[in-house]
Structure 1
Amino acid sequence: MTKSPKGTNTVCTHVGTLEDKEYKGAASPLYMSSSYAFEDVDVKRYPRYFNTPNQEALSKKMAALEHTEAAMIFGSGMAAISTALMTFLQAGDHIVFQQTLYGGTYNFAVTQLEKYGISYSFTDGWEVSDFEAVVKPNTKLIYVETPSNPLLTITDLRGVAELASKQGILTMIDNTFASPINQTPADLGIDVILHSATKYMGGHSDICAGVVACSQENLDKVFHTAICFGGSLSDYTVWLLERSVKTMGLRVKAQNDNAMKMATYLKNNQDVENVYYPGLESHPGHDLAKSQMTGFGGMLSFELSPDIDVSLFFKHLELIKPSMSLAGVESTMISPTKTSHALMSPEDRQKQGIKDSLIRFSLGIEETEDLVHDIEQAISKTKSMTVPA
């Protein structure tokens, strides 16, 4: 009889937990050593080799959550992204990126890849045909991000995976915005899954980490690049991340619910021009998101009316924090043009549809009534200060 798979919250809580054999404590013990024996041992352990006890245990939890054979923990999301890209690309290769990307990934592509003789193309849109249109004979990798940062565009993961498989192309996704609670790309045919674990996995705005999850064969390749780049994570932070992941399912569910409520409220707010959230039926990717996600996520973006000064609006917020990063238990807002996508040129931001009036809203776990009140009082104060005399 086949054993039924464990539920997501059970995986978050139990898989990859180190057993405290000496004192029988409920929490994983923390092994802080950076020096381990090399004689008469099964594994020669060293932090930069991603194989300390805490690193190995957390990697098992991450792989279980993403439904992959294996995973590795990195020092940041960009460490995971850059290491994975440089593992599967070499001089003469070509990579296809979708049009809308996290600004750090975009900056890495346009400032680093050509140094290594690697060419790249960006799609004109998010349809599978847009990816197919820029595939070349030397294309080795297709890179997607869905929902995307910051406009929450939705890419057809099954369609991209089928396109890539037919042509022997590897697929890679930044799954940060969705988290494995809302989306498991490996089940849809995607080869390599990336995360900024700083976000939903950490969830408390107090650690920085990254994840690569994939088959054991592909992870073996990533490992050989990773030990050269040195993007490992300290065991204390690994321990904190393992602790945080235990509540990820509960946190993300609350954030999903808050995002849906706030997206609906903002859509009906006369001081808001546009709302970008795949949970809204008006979102162009709504049906696709329903088919490949189990929840619509805790992130949304919106544009205030032109007569409302965004900088003043931020200054008048009292509860919601105008703060960088995302996915903490506290709600935050940013201006992508000044933060996550500041490294892009104004022209490139315009191509992606990222306006100066755009606000990215990361929902926390507060009561939505309090969030609504904060937005309304901030808008009211901003409008009163900008009314002509």
Structure 2
Amino acid sequence: MSDTIVPRGTFSLEELEELLLGRWPGGDAALAARARQVMADEVGEEVRLRGLLEFSNRCTSDCYYCGIRRSSRSDDQGAPLVRFDLSEEAILEGARLCLQEGYGSMTLQAGERRDRPFIDFVEGVLRRIKEETVTPDLPRGLGITLSVGEQTRETYRRFFDAGAHRYLLRVETSNPRLFARLHPPEQPLERRLQALEDLRAEGFQVGTGVMIGIPGQTSRDLARDIMFFREIDADMIGMGPYIEAAGSAREEMHRQGLLPDTSGAERLRLSLRMIAATRLVLRDVNIAAATALQALSPTGREQGLAFGANVLMPIVTPGGQRRAYQLYQGKPCVEETARECISCTPRRAAWARRPVSYHSWGDAPHARRKEGVFHD
């Protein structure tokens, strides 16, 4: 396979599978160089920033692989899992910190809930952030990515009208068989796909992604995932390695036969190839260097940038709540403060020889080219 004979952005499943198996001419170093060149041409060298604020670990879903699943009882140290909800003021403090540090955007993430008090709370917080973060550099306030799971189309409309303009809803896998292994029957893939359609219909820039290294997952499955990203016209991608859950959720993974069956090094290599392959196919979208990469290597996020990712999400969750928001075992930065994460971010970009973009929403060119979508 040679990238010189593949038309712009077009790969067959077979070609993608070969790439993911490590058969790019010249090896992974050549693949990374090609992905970075496409990234530079299509979205630029700058690393976009999103301050990640995890504001609640209460969740009504029971995904078998997740450390904050509904039935989780303990954290990674065996202590009872303490459920938390940040106050509106605590969330606003995180938004002000993002603004102060020059992050033009933030990501608000929480467990999945669909009750009226939660929806009303999120809507109110979004409106306050937009009102209180207006500056000459950001005349419409901070850009906001929201990630609170599957909701009704009406709820998505409320969130969009309140000021969120990007939404991340990972599909985890587009393979129905694998999806069913990872989730209880009351959480069907069809509902996830409908939610992605509803987000697009309500005007959101749509983000999705998958886990890489799920037991039983093949390179062909991952190649199909990339095709799925293209089919739904995704604007941003957030994906990372499959890692066993923390605490009591790990017991459920064991019961379901879902503990990782490949080494961390293998899953990291495959994750980096997935980032590069997604860049070569989707080209002008935003791709995050996920925090989970760092769980497998101290320089995991930096390597993600080297393979074509262009987004970093430094965590700004208050230190007291970080340990209670561990979706997977070994999550990095749980003992750090928001200030420490802030200081690390420029160093990560510098490791990959990349400049950082400040005071900007950092929307993907793919989204900016669409009529009617907000952009910088």
- Shared fold by TM > 0.5? no
Normalized per residue, which structure has more strand? 1
Find the structure with the greater CA-based Rg: 1
Choose between structure 1 and 2 for higher RCO, CA contacts under 8 A separated by at least 6 residues.
2
TM-score of the pair, normalised by structure 2: 0.31
